[in-house]
Amino acid sequence: MTAPMSRFVGKTVAITGAARGIGAATALRFLHEGARVAVIDRDDFDDVFADHAVDQLLTMRGDCTHAATLSAFHARAVDRFGPVDVLFNNVGQSGRERAAQFHESLEDVWRFVLEVSLLTTMRMSRLVAPTMRGRGGRIINMSSDAALVGDAGLADYAAAKMGIIGFTRALARELGPMA
């Protein structure tokens, strides 16, 4: 990477689903640009953040489908770094090996997919919204092209990701005028 930039110095960023992929890359970029970054994932972070100062980074292993875990993550981030300036709701997944054609799909898989993708996004947003209403900030919600085009065998995932789009639009109308 090039020399560190300072666009986010003094800013606190919270990211869900950050042990690998888009979440990890986003966290690394925010760290590179000076942010204090709190990340949560149910998977190990391995050495993803090995080169970053612990005073700039908070990692927490936890299952984002549990409201109490998200609340604890938010509280730890705020205690350590102050109010969240940027929330990146990245966590989400399909039913993976349990995915099936809709007529053969199982409701417990639907519930899991909605929980991890949509409800986690809503819960984390609700945790940061009260403070952001007063001081500003940004909420970034990750969706998928599956929301717009659908994928055979992943109707639950498409529904959850489209739910994120609708939720994001509604939340922008509520919080946007205060920015």
Catalytic: which of 157, 160, 161, 168? 157
Characterize the bridge pairing of strands 12-16 and 57-61: unpaired
Taking the mean position of all CA atoms in its chain, how far away is CA 149?
22
Domain 12-178 fold: Rossmann fold (3.40.50)
pLDDT at 177: 72
Q: What is the mean pLDDT of the chain?
A: 94
Q: In what order do the strands lie in the sheet with 86-89?
A: 57-61, 36-41, 12-16, 86-89, 138-141
Q: State pLDDT tens for residues 122-159.
A: 999 999 999 999 899 999 999 999 999 998 999 999 99
The string of pLDDT tens digits covering residues 43-65 is: 999 899 998 878 999 999 999 99
In this structure, the strands spanning 12-16 and 36-41 are: parallel
157 is catalytic: yes
